[in-house]
Amino acid sequence: MLTGETLRLFVSSLFLQAGYNTVVVVLGVTALGLAAGLVGAFALLRKRAMMTDVLSHATLPGLAAAWLVATGLGASGRSLPVLLTGAAIAAIVAALTVQWLTRAARLPEDAAMGATLSVFFGLGAVLLSYIQTLRTGSEGGLARFILGQTATMSEQDAYVIATAAVVAIIVAVLLEKEFRIVCFDPQFGAAQGWPVALIDLLLMTIVVGVAVVGLQAVGMILIIALMIIPAATARLWTDRLRVMLALSSLFGAASAWIGASLSAALPKAPAGGLIVLVAGAFFIVSLAVAPSRIRASSAEAR
Amino acid sequence: MLQALSAADAGATPCSVRGMTIDYGNGPVLRSVDFDAAAGSLVAVVGPNGAGKSTLIKAVLGLQPTVAGQTRFWGQSLRQARGRIAYVPQRGAVDWDFPVSVREVVAMGRYRMLGWLRPVSAAHQRAAVEHLDRVGMADFADRQISRLSGGQQQRVFIARALAQEADLYFMDEPFAGVDAATEQAIVDVLRALRAEGKTAVVVHHDLATVRTYFDSLLLLNGEVVASGPVDSTFTTENLQRAYGGRLAFIGGALAPAPGA
Amino acid sequence: MQAHLLQVDLPAAAAALFAALACALLGNFLVLRRQSLMSDAISHSLLPGVVLAFMVSGARTSGAMFLGAAIAAVVTVALVQFVRRRARLESGAAMGVVFSIMFAAGVVLIEQGPARNVDLDADCVLYGQLEHIMWLAAANPGALLDPAVWREAPRQVVTLAGVLAASAVAVALFWKELKISSFDPQLASALGFSPRAIDMGLMFFVGLVAVAAFEAVGSILVIAMFICPAAAARSTTERLGAQVAVSLAYAAVAALGGYTLAAFGPGWAGMDASLTASGAIATVSGLILAVAALARVRAAPGALAKT
């Protein structure tokens, strides 16, 4: 609960006064929030909100398999790049599974997504329970990816997160026009000769990239929140795509900054939960006071 | 006439479809369609619900897999000719709540000219507004698209196709559910295109206006029932063959429309 | 060994079986109505209800927990509707916003005050505690004939059996309405069935089953059981009655097969490891779905997917 000491820790982290490692972690997570807000806005507009949830849950078996492989080869299961590579591969396999279930097996898309999410996560849980019985002493590292934990993040981890976030931001800014047409009217885009499937793939690639590097900070269960809630909040304030992208990045960054600072003060509470609650507070306040959606709906009534 | 001259030369036919068959897996939706759209003609694609009108247009544009058949544009492949082809999808196909302005939607017609990564320049922005003006929508350039009436939304889609500055236009039900002012604006655009020697293939549902608005007809019902000049193909017998028993409902439409 | 089988494996397998059957039964309608992901949303957002119930009642009693989770389920459905309309989001995005905020509130609340002292953490929410269900009174096969032993049957198993029976009765009673409104909502309302009332009723039972199941098997298995058997059955048959029957068979195979693999698999393989049973059951249900989907693709290889 809030004591004077937690409050002091929170404020000093918020204003980057809490020691070098905490500062780097808070800034790294903030870069992640910025990237998630930006990429998430496109995911929301492409109606892929729940797909981000599927992909992030699906990283669990990849993380566990990467740990097993790395440990089996005598390397450390704690290496972040190795674990995140496994996570990304699992997310890509999940995306292909959803596509195969809908296209080839003709299942409804929501059923394909829910089945993929739960089965991949279930498989990951089995692998995780197996790893836990090995008692190697280094297995504790994996659980942090489920709900997020900034306390265990090193400076190095923060740099990995920030670098990936910057790459995702650059890609999203460069391809804004392409993402815009595919999100608004993919048929028209295809008729003009744009490779819609390729552009979709690029979009999902940066979504996976941001989700994977965000696992440690936010956790796989709540990554969807950092992608979708800032975007939904931004949409309440504006009818302009560029403004929405900027606001969504801003809400994402602010949620991550404040949430990570809270997490530094409350190391036991999962960082993901704190960050999402801050993002949720922005959304709820915006829902109550933002003007744009109400005007839009009354104008549409004509 | 331009039409007669170009028909002789296959390389000059804007759109030529041969043997197109489409099957979703439960029997063919379209069977072995042959069809030519002559340069400078306005072609109505007409048929009952489920006749495969939209499907044909999507297949021609490569948006729909086909089982058999090929399409040539001025004798070229779709890949080569894509820059000369514009498309107006059905209005219901997009999310009108999307956060873009009218001008930004019309500017999408210029994306192909821009190519990868390049942003929309001021010149293209201006071009977008000019094309909006052709459908009487220039005053709405900065409006959010959800704050338009259905007819206005349709005119924005037409302006976006005009912004493609193409020679061949495919329009999917542009007259569906629009007000009289919009209908007139679209007809004006079609006639202006014809006057410039351009070609439009339009999925149309209102039999009463076929004679007034179009010169050619493609009558579909899972296969081609008739195709050619409206005068010789828009007959009671052909319509009866396309619509079957359902023609009773539309019998009144067969009389030539006033002013035809 | 035999006592362990009766006291541990029997009640755990029964809980998994009842949970799987109840979820699969309702899952048929979720899959048909394109509402599969609602099971994802509901099973995640139960958490704050459960935690608050702990904090208020101060104990891990089933009544308070059941009530807290049930309220959370109803609140979720209402909030998703509200956010969808008010913020004009597509239903997937509205679900994502609502359930992630609720789940976040739950995981933060767990770390606070009284809830921290109760044996509850995010792990048991996700994977459940199938392995912790015990029936100590069933010490030997003879004891199964003693009514007193049955009165001590584990609470979770009894609850799940009750919820399964209630769902089965409800589906049987409203079979015609569910069938019509799932296949053709417009026809249903034209005939005078309110699709909204049927929808709310279905969601109520989904919430009830999710609440009863999640404590035993965890939220992940709840989602898998709602969706996988029904989706696999849909790939197997086109008729609703057959689909429901097949989905129940698949669910039973997944539950018993998955439990057996998790409980005895490592021993058979000569490994000293224990696997999470709910994860194994979810995995087996996924394998069943994969085989059913593959069979369907094989059966109609030439067909082009509708775009």
pLDDT single digits (tens) A69-114: 988 887 777 788 899 999 999 999 999 999 999 988 889 999 999 9
User: With 0-12 CB in 10 A as exposed, 13-18 as middle and 19+ as buried, what is A101?
Assistant: buried
Q: Which residue has the tokens 């400076």?
A: A155
The number of folded domains in chain B is 1
* Contact: C303, B65; criterion CB under 8 Å: no
Contacts of B65 in chain C (CB under 8 A): 304, 307
Q: Residue B216 forms beta bridges with which residues?
A: B43, B229
Give the residue on B whose Cα is nearest the Cα of A299. Answer: B147
3-state helix, strand, coil in chain A (%, to 5): 80, 0, 20
Pick the CATH number of A4-289 from 3.40.710.10, 3.40.50.300, 1.10.3470.10, 1.10.1530.10: 1.10.3470.10
Contacts of A241 in chain B (CB under 8 A): 98-100, 104
Question: Could you report the per-residue pLDDT of C159-182, keeping only the tens digit for each?
Answer: 899 999 999 999 999 998 888 887
Q: How far is Cα A128 from Cα A221, in angstroms, rounded to an integer? A: 16
Question: Could you report the per-residue pLDDT of A11-56, keeping only the tens digit for each?
Answer: 888 888 878 888 998 999 999 999 999 999 999 999 999 999 999 9
Predicted pLDDT of residue A285 = 96
The whole-angstrom distance between B85's CA and the closest CA on chain A is 8
* Residue A42 identity (one-letter amino acid): F
The whole-angstrom distance between B128's CA and the closest CA on chain A is 15
Q: How far is Cα A234 from Cα A253, in angstroms, rounded to an integer? A: 12
Using alpha carbons, select from C45, C76, C50 the residue that is nearest to residue C63.
Answer: C50
pLDDT higher at A194 or C141: A194
Q: Residue B71 forms beta bridges with which residues?
A: B17
* Position C117 pLDDT exceeds 70: no
Using alpha carbons, select from A297, A296, A174 the residue that is nearest to residue A245.
Answer: A174
Between helix A4-14 and helix A241-265 the angle, nearest 10°, is 140
Q: How far is Cα A73 from Cα A63, in angstroms, rounded to an integer? A: 15
SS3 of B198, please? coil
Q: Look at residue B258 and tell me if it is in a domain.
A: no
The whole-angstrom distance between B260's CA and the closest CA on chain A is 34
Measured from the Cβ of residue C68, the count of other Cβ atoms closer than 10 Å reads: 23
For C250, the enclosing helix (H) or strand (E) is helix C240-268
Q: Look at residue B254 and tell me if it is in a domain.
A: no
C14: its two tokens: 């029964």
- Residues B169-173, mean pLDDT to the nearest whole number: 96
Q: Look at residue C303 and tell me if it is in a domain.
A: no
Q: Look at residue C79 and tell me if it is in a domain.
A: yes
For A133, the enclosing helix (H) or strand (E) is helix A109-134
Q: Residue B224 forms beta bridges with which residues?
A: B220
Rounded (5°) CA angle A161-A163-A164: 65
Is the minimum CB–CB distance between B149 and chain A shorter than 8 Å?
Answer: yes
Q: How confident is the model at residue B8 (pLDDT cuts 50, 70, 90)?
A: very low
* Contact: B111, A193; criterion CB under 8 Å: no
Q: Look at residue B259 and tell me if it is in a domain.
A: no
The number of folded domains in chain C is 1
Q: Look at residue C299 and tell me if it is in a domain.
A: no
Contact B118, B140 (CB under 8 A): no
Q: Look at residue C102 and tell me if it is in a domain.
A: yes
Rounded (5°) CA angle A257-A23-A8: 75
Dihedral (CA of A36, A37, A43, A44) sign: positive
pLDDT higher at B161 or C119: B161
Predicted pLDDT of residue C60 = 63
Q: Look at residue C196 and tell me if it is in a domain.
A: yes
The share of chain A scoring above pLDDT 90, in percent, equals 65
Question: Could you report the per-residue pLDDT of B65-85, keeping only the tens digit for each?
Answer: 999 999 999 999 999 999 999
Q: How far is Cα A36 from Cα C225, in angstroms, rounded to an integer? A: 31
Q: What CATH number is attached to the domain comprising B33?
A: 3.40.50.300
Predicted pLDDT of residue A286 = 96
- Mutation target vs B (from A181, A184, A199; most B CBs, 10 A cutoff): A184
Domain limits for position C202? 2-128+155-294
Domain limits for position B175? 2-249
Interface of C with B (CB under 8 A): 88, 300, 302-304, 306-307
Q: What CATH number is attached to the domain comprising C280?
A: 1.10.3470.10
Q: If you compute the radius of gyration of chain C from its CA atoms, what whole number of angstroms results?
A: 20
Phi and psi at residue A90, to the nearest 5°: -60, -40
